[in-house]
Structures are given as C-alpha cells and as structure tokens.
C-alpha cells in the first residue's frame, strides 16, 4: 500500500496529492469567445482590469500605418494596417506607471515589450489590413485583432513578434 501511495497522483477539486506531500493549485481555463463576441481584457497597475469590445476599441483610436512583415507566412510586401496604437490605449485608460507591456493571444502565446518600444514606435493593435477587417481565427485569419510591430522596434524578422488573436494587454 505504501508503494502505491508514493506513486499515486490524484487530481480532484484543485488538489494534487503527490506521495505524502500536498500541493494546492488553481486551474485556469482560458475561454476563447467566438470572433463576433471578441473582447480585449486590459490590466494595469492599480486597476482590476477593463474589458473593451471591438466597437469601443475602434472608437478609442484609428491609425493607419504602413508596415512590412518579414517571416514565415508573410509576403514581405508593404501593407496598410489600421488599428489602435498601444501608447494611445495607455493614454485613453490613463495608464502612466508601467515599465513593460505584455500582449497575450487567445492561444496563450505572448509578447513582452518594453515601455520604450511602445512609446517610440508605431506598435499597433491592428484590426484591419489594406482596407479590410482582419479575418478571425475561426475563419483562418490572424484577427480580429493582431499585434503588429515595425522592424525598427524588434528587428528585421518582425512577423515572429506579431501576436495573432490578441485577447489581453497587461501594462506592468
């Protein structure tokens, strides 16, 4: 019985028993809403977080920036991306006390940027490309919102830093 207990793993109600030790943990399930129910969760120091829908995001800011994305799956040609600059999102929410920004995707991929990268460059939460809305994940697209970074911010092969299916922005 002792040997059986030592090797037994029990997962129940958030408690994992390993041998004679007890570890308590929390399971976090990321729920990915359908594209038409898309929303952005924004977290910042001293706040509980803000939820912003697509219509509100468009009202906050609408910039068009020409960028070339280089990397796997990209054509390397200039495109016009339309969306909200991360620095404008921070300004709209009166977020001033942060050193970095983490942008997370619905699939949990994330990119951490320095404050200087965000404020010195056109780092965009893109909602459109070349006059068309970005197709959502369920339609095989990179949207409905995608983080797009210029080469000056992250280097020549910038596409690898462009987060698809953005779901959360965390000012830290």
Q: What is the pLDDT of residues 22-47, one digit of tens each?
A: 333 333 334 444 445 789 999 999 88
CATH number for position 55: 3.90.420.10
Is residue 50 in some structural domain?
yes
Mean of pLDDT over the chain: 79
Mean pLDDT of 96-122: 94
Is residue 89 in some structural domain?
yes
pLDDT of amino acid 156: 66
Q: Give, in order, the Cα–Cα distances in Å from 47 to each of 40, 77, 105, 115, 159.
A: 15, 40, 21, 18, 31
Residue written as tokens 């054509």?
75
Is residue 52 in some structural domain?
yes
Is residue 82 in some structural domain?
yes
pLDDT tens digits for range 124-145: 999 999 999 999 888 888 899 9
pLDDT of amino acid 16: 34
Is residue 150 in some structural domain?
yes
Is residue 71 in some structural domain?
yes
Choice between 108 and 159, residue whose per-residue pLDDT is larger:
108
Is residue 93 in some structural domain?
yes
Range of the domain at 44: 35-171
Mean pLDDT of 80-95: 95
Write the CB contacts of 160 (distance below 8 Å, at least 6 apart in sequence). 71, 72
pLDDT of amino acid 158: 65
Is residue 30 in some structural domain?
no
Cα separation, 44 vs 30, whole angstroms? 19
pLDDT of amino acid 52: 94
Question: Would you say residue 18 has pLDDT above 60?
Answer: no
What is the reported pTM? 0.76
Tokens of 63: 């910039």
Choice between 134 and 5, residue whose per-residue pLDDT is larger:
134
What is the number of structural domains in the chain? 1
């Amino acid at each position: 019985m002792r040997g059986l207990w030592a090797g037994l793993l029990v997962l129940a109600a958030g408690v994992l028993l390993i041998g004679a030790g007890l570890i308590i943990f929390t399971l976090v399930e990321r729920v990915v809403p359908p594209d038409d129910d898309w929303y952005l969760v924004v977290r910042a120091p001293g706040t509980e977080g803000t939820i912003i829908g697509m219509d509100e995001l468009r009202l906050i800011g609408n910039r068009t920036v020409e960028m070339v994305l280089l990397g796997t799956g990209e054509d390397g040609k200039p495109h016009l991306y339309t969306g909200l600059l991360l620095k404008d999102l921070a300004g709209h929410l009166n977020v001033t006390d942060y050193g970095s920004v983490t942008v997370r995707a619905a699939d949990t991929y994330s990119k951490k940027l320095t404050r200087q990268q965000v404020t010195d460059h056109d780092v965009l939460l893109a909602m459109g490309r070349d006059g068309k809305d970005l197709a959502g994940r369920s339609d095989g697209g990179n949207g409905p919102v995608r983080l797009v970074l210029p080469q000056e911010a992250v280097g020549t092969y910038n596409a690898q830093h462009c987060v698809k299916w953005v779901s959360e922005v965390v000012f830290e």
